[in-house]
Structure 1
Amino acid sequence: MKVIVIGAGVVGTTTAWYLAAAGHDVTVIDRQPGVGQETSFANGGQISVSHAEPWANPQAIGKILRWLGKEDAPLLFRWRLDPELFRWGLRFLSECKASRTKANIRAIVNLAIDSRACLQQLRVETGIAYDQQTRGILHFYTDAQEYKAAAMAADLMRDFGLDRHPVDAAACIRIEPALSDARATIVGGHFTPSDESGDAHKFTRHLAELAKARGVHFQIGTPVLRLRGSAATIESVELYNGQRLQADAYVVACGSFSNALLSPLGLGLPIYPAKGYSATFTLADGENFAPTVSLTDDGRKIVFSRLGNRLRVAGTAEMNGYGMGLNPVRCAAITERTHQLFPHLRTVGEPEYWTGLRPATPSNVPIIGRAKPSNLYLNTGHGTLGWTMACGSGKALADMMSGRRPETDFPFLYRY
């Protein structure tokens, strides 16, 4: 059938890839001049099943209260007269129960493990390259209470099949010697050897080229005005230039902006933009103090990924609407932490700062499947794990749209 995918980030592009592989005629529409230009552009680079603990957990409320008013807080809520944020916040609080956290971790781990396997298979089949590293992810802790609290979530992830194991401070240094200068502050960690890292933007660009060779059409630099139709069926996509495009099925995969398309149809989703920051450091020739194992500084919610001759440092979340302005305090906090951990790091020029709006659900579980109109499908709400879950959610949605039941045990929006 003919399918239109709205959104050419890593999620939309992988969806198009798997739909084309299933034999569908696919067109991808995006407002940006190229693929992967928004949230997929400069994220943390991790394929991190081990990052499956949702923000909403029993410890979250206390942390948020302590962080209120701190410009460099890992998770910053800017409370204001924003009904959308208020509704999202209430649902976030309801997801902080231990029972909900367990269910959400299970769903995230199941999809993320499957997605990582899909990525590995795609890499073998196509030879796609994107500065990937397959050396695992090390979560390290500099606060004993934080380390102790993380053990419960790590235990759950192991119960659900993830190889995330506790390691002592000495083992952290053996796994990643670049942390040697921070040895005195590290109290322990968790290592997941099966996790990976890589450049999501480079992956998206290369996959788009492979998808074009498979017959996928990309209509780039084309903003969508609205979806036209009723509660029963979508009739067309109307572009800002007045053009209307018709298809048999439509996929909304435009991240934080999904609600802008769906709300007029009465399909508002519990998605709110969580602004994330990153700094990309260009490493000097011969630099050997930068990490090669991808790292997560769990207390600061900052990740470090080696991407060829670059070090990508990313993290934090700011709940503050749809503004894209860079907050210099939060940028400085990322840079300062990098130099604290790696004081001998040698770089060229100044870091490149970036911010992107990650589409967060209160549970951190993405919304994937068929919506109320029979020909409308969703693949959105991946939060910080869009890169991690992209291949798995794209393949699962392609299966559903082809009349097949996805193998992954996940709460898809679908009736079999």
Structure 2
Amino acid sequence: MTTARAWSEAYTALIARLPELAKRSRLTIGGFSTCVDVYLSFHETVGPLSAAANQNPDAVALLAELERRALNGIGGELFVNWPGGPRWIDDHVTGRRAIGGTNAQAAYMLAELGARSLIALEDRTAGQLTVLHPDTLVASDDGLVPISSLSPAGRERSPHYVFEFTAGETIGERRVPRSSRTIVRFDHDPLQHDAAFVRASVQAAAHAGAGVLCGFNEIAPEDAAAEFDYAADTASAWRRAGLEIVHVELGDFHGPEQRDQTLERLMPVATSLGMSLSELTDLTQAGTSPDVAAQHLAEAHALERICIHADDWAFTVTRGDPEREREALMIGCLLAAARAAAGYFAVPDRLPDGARFRTPPLPPSRQRDGWSIVCCPAPYLEKPAATIGLGDTFLAGTLLVLGGSSNDASAQDRPRAASAPSP
């Protein structure tokens, strides 16, 4: 059994490689989910919100569902058909506004590391521009320009309200068993339709490292077919231009129908799929091992890889280089842990205080039917400063490695830190 100390040493060695990885990174292309999040502690806000709910049935139902989720350790996303919800929350509590959307959050983390990302951005309002990383790139008539060069315009969209809860906190007289968050949306979010981005991203695709597709769990069901076509057509153009990695991040859907439509429509243009362990479980027949389920899913959709992240471990089923995948997993877990410890995006200079390495349910590596299954523990914090965006930050780390320049060192030439610690 690999020891926690060995994993700690392997992760510590990887920290020193971050500047090199950023230097060798290629452009990451990201569409089509960018929004504004409002961070709220459920422990701190449940009191004033409950007092304000009175006989408002929408408010009472929302708080009851948030309480149920917190007390059962359930995270994910929640759509509430209540147009007055944002105003009601804003009238009674104040949260911190920050960047939301998988590709935008991944781009933020990459920019913090000094790596380049281009995102689709139709919403260029003041509220949206303020929370994006100033060095993230967007397309304009003048070519690729940083966010910091844009002037705001347009009408603000409704934000997402992210209610966090931390293990050990009390809600009423009961304790929260697991640290997580529930993202509450009061409206459907269309994809970011950005014609300049489409043109620029296709032109850049031949020399880019990876492309990301996300946001399909937030679109209106009646618009889904057109939105799928828009994303799939764009990704097909990337592939034709030479982009090798097109990654779809699945997300937490309100129901299985739109999730299944997403897989059916977008997997033919993708090479890679990512999701949380709970999202994989929802796709899996009861009793199936997660690695077997991921392999079957990859084979069914002719993918090159599927990557799964959980609270304290992660794994990939891949046709590619297993040592490169291991480094990608570990960098992803490292960046997510740094964000969990700091409460927002952070470039780590050491492992977080109190980080623990639990033994994952899968071995560090195995081969099966032409696939490599690679697994590692994550530096786990039972009581993180924040749980928001950890999966998106994890994605940034994996793409930093996998989308690195083609003259990257071969697996046998990489430092020992990229390999699994010896038993």
Identify which of structures 1 and 2 has the higher relative contact order when contacts are C-alpha pairs closer than 8 Å and 6+ apart: 1
Is this a same-fold pair by TM over 0.5?
Answer: no
| TM-score normalised over the length of structure 1 | 0.30
| TM-score normalised over the length of structure 2 | 0.30
Q: Going by fraction, where is helix more abundant, 1 or 2?
A: 2
